[in-house]
Structure 1
Amino acid sequence: MQTWTLTVDGREHRVTAAGTLRHAVEWQVDGEVVALKKAAEERIRLEADDHGSMDVRFSTTGSPRRATWHAPDADAAGLAGIGGLDLEPEPGSPAAAYEERVRAHPRRYATIQTAGGVGKVVVPILLTLLVITLPWPSIPWPDLPSIPLPDLPEVPWPDLPAIPWPDLDLPDWQLPGWVRWVLDNATYVVPIVLAFVLARVELRRRRHQDELREQRRRELDDRDQDQA
Structure 2
Amino acid sequence: MTGQRWDLDVEGRHHRVEADGSTRHRVRWYVDDQLVAERTAMEDKIRLRPSGDAAGHGLGAVLVRFSTLGTPRRATRFPPDEALDVQLSTGVGGTDLVPECGSKAAQHDERMLAHPTRYTVIQTAGGVATVVVPLLVAALLARVAFSFDWPAIPWPDLPDLPWPEIRLPGIPLPNWSLPGWVREALGYAKYVWPVLLAFLLARAEIRRRRTQRAVR
Distance 1:73 1:102 in 2: 31
Alpha carbon RMSD of aligned pairs, Å? 3.1
* Aligned partner of 1:14 among 16, 41, 55: 16
| 1:134 Cα deviation from its structure 2 partner | 4.2
Cα contact 1:18–1:25 (8 A) shared by 2: yes
Cα contact 1:182–1:189 (8 A) shared by 2: no
Task: Map 1:169-188; keep pairs closer than 5 Å.
Answer: 174=179, 177=181, 179-188=182-191
User: What CA deviation, in whole Å up to 9, does each residue of 1:18-60 have, x standing for no partner?
Assistant: 1322211111111121111112222111122431111111111
Distance 1:105 1:139 in 2: 53
Equivalent residue, structure 2, for 1:190? 193
Distance 1:140 1:121 in 2: 30
Distance 2:114 2:185 in 1: 34
After superposition, the Cα gap between the structure-2 partners of 1:139 and 1:55, relative to the gap in structure 1 and judged at 3 Å, is same
Give the number of aligned pairs. 206
Within the alignment, does 1:107 sit opposite 2:117 as a pair? yes
Identity fraction in percent: 45
| 1:154 Cα deviation from its structure 2 partner | 4.4
Moved over 3 A (4+): 76-79, 132-141, 143-149, 151-155, 159-170, 172-175, 179-182
After superposition, the Cα gap between the structure-2 partners of 1:74 and 1:211, relative to the gap in structure 1 and judged at 3 Å, is farther
Equivalent residue, structure 1, for 2:62? 54
SS at match of 1:185: helix
Distance 2:34 2:97 in 1: 17
Within the alignment, does 1:28 sit opposite 2:34 as a pair? no
Equivalent residue, structure 2, for 1:40? 42
Cα contact 2:78–2:87 (8 A) shared by 1: no
Task: Map 1:117-136; keep pairs closer than 5 Å.
Answer: 117-134=127-144
Equivalent residue, structure 2, for 1:68? 76
Which is further off, 110-119 or 29-38?
29-38
Distance 1:145 1:180 in 2: 39
Cα contact 1:4–1:14 (8 A) shared by 2: yes
Cα contact 2:21–2:72 (8 A) shared by 1: no
Distance 2:187 2:199 in 1: 20
Equivalent residue, structure 2, for 1:87? 97
Larger radius of gyration between Structure 1 and Structure 2:
1
Cα contact 1:16–1:26 (8 A) shared by 2: yes
AA matched with 2:193: V
Equivalent residue, structure 2, for 1:165? 171
After superposition, the Cα gap between the structure-2 partners of 1:169 and 1:138, relative to the gap in structure 1 and judged at 3 Å, is closer
Distance 1:56 1:103 in 2: 20
TM-score, length-normalised on structure 2?
0.81
AA matched with 2:76: T
User: What CA deviation, in whole Å up to 9, does each residue of 1:160-195 have, x standing for no partner?
Assistant: 66345355587x8737x3x54431022211111111
Distance 2:117 2:154 in 1: 63
After superposition, the Cα gap between the structure-2 partners of 1:138 and 1:46, relative to the gap in structure 1 and judged at 3 Å, is same
